Amino acid sequence: MFTIDFQAFLDALPYMGKGMLGIFVVTAVIVLVVSALNNIPEKKDKKNND
Amino acid sequence: MGVLLENFSTVTFSQVAMWIIGAVLIFLAIKKEMEPSLLLPMGFGAILINLPNSGAQHIIDVMFRVGIDNEFGELMPLILFIGIGAMIDFTPLLTNPKLMLFGAAAQFGIFFTLCLASLLGFDLKDAASIGIIGAADGPTAIAVSMELGSKYIGAIMVAAYSYMALVPLVQPPIIKLCTTKKERLIRMDNTAGKAPSKLTKILFPIVVTIIVGLVAPDAVALIGFLMFGNLIRECGVLNSLSETAQKVLANLVTIFLGITIAARMRAEEFLTVDTLLIIALGLFAFIFDTFAGVMLAKFMNLFSKKKINPMIGAAGISAFPMSARVVHKMGLEEDNQNFLLMHSIGVNVSGQIASVIAGGLILTFFR
pLDDT digits (tens, 9 = 90+) for B34-71: 778 888 998 999 999 999 988 888 888 888 888 777 66
- Using the predicted structure, report yes or no on whether residue A19 has a pLDDT greater than 50: yes
CB contact under 8 A, A30 and B211: yes
What's the CA gap between B321 and B136, in Å, rounded? 11
Name the phi and psi angles at B124, rounded to 5.
-60, -40
What's the CA gap between B236 and B199, in Å, rounded? 11
Q: Chain A contact for B280, CB < 8 A?
A: no
Beta bridge partners of B24: none
Q: Higher pLDDT residue, B132 or B70? A: B132
Residue of A nearest to B197 (CA): A42
The domain segmentation of chain B, as residue ranges, is: 54-366
Q: Which chain B residues contact residue A45 at CB under 8 A?
A: none
Residue among A12, A23, A28 whose CB faces B124 most closely: A12
Are A19 and B365 in contact by the 8 Å Cβ rule? The answer is: yes
- Three-state DSSP state, B73: strand
pTM of the model: 0.86
Q: Higher pLDDT residue, B200 or B319? A: B200
| Among A25, A10, A27, A23, residue whose Cα is nearest residue B114 | A10
Amino acid at B27: F
CA atoms within 13 A on the CB side of B231: 13
Q: Output the CA torsion B111→B116→B118→B123 (10° steps).
A: -70
What's the CA gap between B74 and B69, in Å, rounded? 6
The pLDDT of A5-10, averaged and rounded, is 92
Amino acid at B353: I
- Using the predicted structure, report yes or no on whether residue A48 has a pLDDT greater than 60: no
Beta bridge partners of B295: none
Q: What is the pLDDT of residues B268-303, one digit of tens each?
A: 888 889 988 999 999 999 999 999 999 999 999 999
What's the CA gap between A27 and B185, in Å, rounded? 28
The predicted structure's pLDDT at residue A49: 47
Residue A13, min C-alpha distance to chain B (Å): 6
Q: Higher pLDDT residue, B348 or A43? A: B348
Q: Chain B contact for A22, CB < 8 A?
A: yes
The pLDDT of B165-185, averaged and rounded, is 91
